[in-house]
Structure 1
């Protein structure tokens, strides 16, 4: 018997059934919809630790999705391999008429999608993608001259001016759940089959309390206080809706809304200036800086053994949990780049290997901000004093003591470099590179 024609919805950075743009359009396509996910070997093979919690998180979310879909008489199809080869296999198994998915803006994803679209086109299968992980993308928010913004404040102002119910309204996917393809549950590869092992530690919840948002502006800079949303991993993998979060932020916290706008800002930078995703400085003159790049000092920074407690606490928290408080991220990044004169790309790559919420656009944007080489960056002469930052944002040393049990003992190292000396050295090196001398 001939196979029935179906539509496939390809999950990537949008791992939820509710308020999902591409899934909504797929369910209204006219053919039964089979949800699909690929564990991409090109990505997984580059991870060097069997306990990578991001893979564990994705697997746990997919397991939950499978249970939810099974309750509707359908299934999630999960494959492991090279996307092109996996898609060739799927097209032999099913009579696919259309493929729906949501946009992905990273360079690798762009290349991957181009290859898959060509494969589908050769078989007369349409490939339709939609905006889902941001409110505004690509060239939707432009200056009066019709150019992309490279400074956040005017971008933010224009972003808010353009926001309407149309952009922040949810997609009513549940209304069309009866359009899923009827099938028995399909097997999901185990973590072990993917080459990974579970740690079993809980992940941050995927909701944010109203009380936290109401106090967000006043408390968010203090790392000892549980005053941040911890939603980064959920935004990264799309287990929460950005539209839902924007509506909630508008009700309860202008500061939290601003953080969401920063996320859109960095995504449009990555799209409009793709060189930053290839490791280039947004401001090319900053590539003239003569970095010291001392391996031994970089290792001490990675391990949280610089002798600066706020820096060390942050790095130890990152290594242990995959999370680092945003204020501390700025301090640790600035310290590595400006106190140690280590190329910002080294730190960017280290964060990419450790952060649960790693996102190329935001990670690159944050590191280039710290280095002064990016859009809307901190001026080259702004150099955080990590001791002053600790006094201001962890005055009782609660955060630092939590992560540095040997603090105030002979076992804690002396500072790797004197702050005043490092500051003057940094200014000299930057001035020489930028022609400011």
Structure 2
């Protein structure tokens, strides 16, 4: 008997561990409910709800294959070895199959489970599935992990040109087992159920995920390079939640993109090339997570930036978190996040840079806030994005390149359509005033909208000064020695 331990791979098709288990013999699947671990990792309630809804759909799909889905509780991952060992002994399991996950806690959990099982003669098999390339397989000539994305991407493209990763065949139905699947809870204590409006934005299941991917690849991907930065347009794929939960695989995404471009990477559609680059960015940050595990420990990738004089400004942090900064593009983006569990990628950068540069508030505050609200919350991507914007990360934006949120707003939401959708109190303003309501006249701007909590010019100068006065890396190495 084989056991498939599902984690962030909630799909039936192109699932490496599922297919491998089914090839070996009769298979049972299990999913661990770990609420204390999820709380410790700041997983958003809407994300937990999304997992449960996708699990429910997957359970139905697996039942068509006569693979029962069992549900067990391991409040923290420290309890996973005992819970899984007990299940294996109850069912007479010979081997456990998993798809690799990445991060310090995930790696420790899997090593502990493998050790516990092997001590009892039970096999533990892990597979590359969440990525196109295994961490450690894309290295510099000196044998280290890449720190520069463009160099990493070049190697990835060379490898993909040589051989595309193949889609894994889905298993066929097995003989029925005398084991019944478990029912899934409707909710998890400690995680509020999101609104039905939010749920409707993110329907669960592979069919919906594939439909979204297919529609994007056939209709929108060729405009992606031109429209991906425009938050008022549907210029992005909006499949990130499905990728994070493993309802879609990166292989499926890559093949869909290439099929829309006659198999070409660099030539043909610029939109396809740009979108595949975004898939590689996802890959890059996962590799960074493994190669430089300090980023898993809430540490800056660039050690010298740990000495930045971050401000303790709780009232300003709260205003930013609640969409009351007085800068419309920032507040509209936050309102989008709170209402939908998702934020447009360009706005993630603008919002993050405003917090870390204009307010000079620690990027970790923003990273945590995003994880607590994102339906597509992913440690590697979220950490990588925040450290990029804060100029503390690998291949990050130079510290002196600070986005002006008003300029960004005028450039990427020129008519103010996105702002007016999320901030209806500004609907009466013209397309110039809507980006900066204090310019609308009068001493107080718009009555129902707050004044900016920070002076953009002065706060920019403050951030530049903070970075310029950091100790150099050479000095830090001398101090450590």
**Does TM, normalized by the shorter one, top 0.5?**
yes
| CA pair 244-48 structure 1, distance change in 2 beyond 3 A | closer
Residue 17 in 1 paired to residue 12 in 2? yes
Q: Is the 8 A contact 2:3 2:97 kept in 1?
A: yes
What TM-score, normalized by structure 1, do the two folds share? 0.93
- The answer to whether residue 286 in structure 2 is matched with residue 249 in structure 1 is no
In the aligned structure 1, how far is the partner of 2:66 from the partner of 2:249? 25
Please point out which of 225, 237, 246 is paired with 1:229.
237
Please give the root-mean-square deviation of Cα atoms over the aligned residues, in Å.
2.0
Return the offset for 1:339.
Answer: 0.2
Residues matched between the structures, number? 427
**Among 62, 65, 72, the residue aligned to 2:65:** 72
Aligned residue in 1 for 2:45? 52
Q: Distance in 1 between matches of 2:116 and 2:163?
A: 34
Question: 2:42 touches 2:371 (CA, 8 Å); kept in 1?
Answer: no
- TM-score normalised to the size of structure 2? 0.85
5 Å matches for 1:398-417? 398-407=417-426, 408=437, 409-417=446-454
Whether 2:473 is the aligned partner of 1:433: answer no
| CA apart distance, 1:72 | 2.9
Say yes or no: does 1:333 pair with 2:370: no
Distance change (3 Å), C-alpha of 1:360 and 1:152: same
- Unmatched runs of 5 consecutive residues or more in structure 1: 1-5
1:7–1:32 CA contact under 8 A, matched in 2: yes
Per the alignment, residue 22 of structure 2 pairs with 27
C-alpha deviation, 1:154, in angstroms: 1.1
Q: Secondary structure at the match of 1:132?
A: coil
2:313 pairs with 1:316: no
Q: Equivalent residue for 1:387?
A: 406
SS of 1:37 mapped into structure 2: strand
Mapped to 2, the partners of 1:157 and 1:311 lie a distance apart of 34
* C-alpha contact (below 8 Å) 1:27/1:180 kept by paired residues: no
Question: Does the aligned pair in 2 maintain the 1:66–1:75 contact within 8 Å?
Answer: yes
The equivalent position to 1:199 in structure 2, one of 190, 195, 199, is 195
The 1:395–1:290 alpha-carbon spacing in structure 2 relative to 1, beyond 3 Å, is same
Distance 1:382 1:180, change over 3 A: farther
Give the distance between the partners of 2:390 and 2:187, measured in 1 at CA: 39
Contact 1:73 1:183 in 2 (8 A): no
Distance 1:228 1:16 in 2: 22
Q: CA deviation at 1:103?
A: 0.4
Alpha carbons 1:33, 1:180 under 8 Å: kept? no
- 2:380 and 2:222 map into 1 onto residues whose CA distance is 27
The more displaced of 380-389 and 32-41 is 32-41
Question: Displacement of 1:91 after TM fit?
Answer: 2.6
Q: 2:284 aligns with which of 260, 265, 272?
A: 265
Structure 1 SS opposite 2:316:
helix
Contact 1:137–1:264 (CA under 8 A) maintained in structure 2: no
The answer for unaligned runs of 5 or more in structure 2 is 262-271, 427-436, 438-445, 474-481
Matches within 5 A, 1:16-165: 16-29=11-24, 31-46=25-40, 52-82=45-75, 83-164=80-161
> Would you say 1:360 and 2:379 are equivalent positions?
yes
1:101 Cα shift?
A: 0.5
Shift of 1:421: 0.6
| Structure 1, 35-44 or 362-371: larger mean CA deviation | 35-44
Contact 1:74–1:183 at 8 Å: present in 2 too?
Answer: no
Task: Please state how far the C-alpha of 1:324 moved relative to its aligned partner.
Answer: 0.2
Closer, same or farther in 2 for the Cα pair 1:180/1:103, shift >3 Å?
farther
1:48, 1:424 → 2: CA distance?
Answer: 33
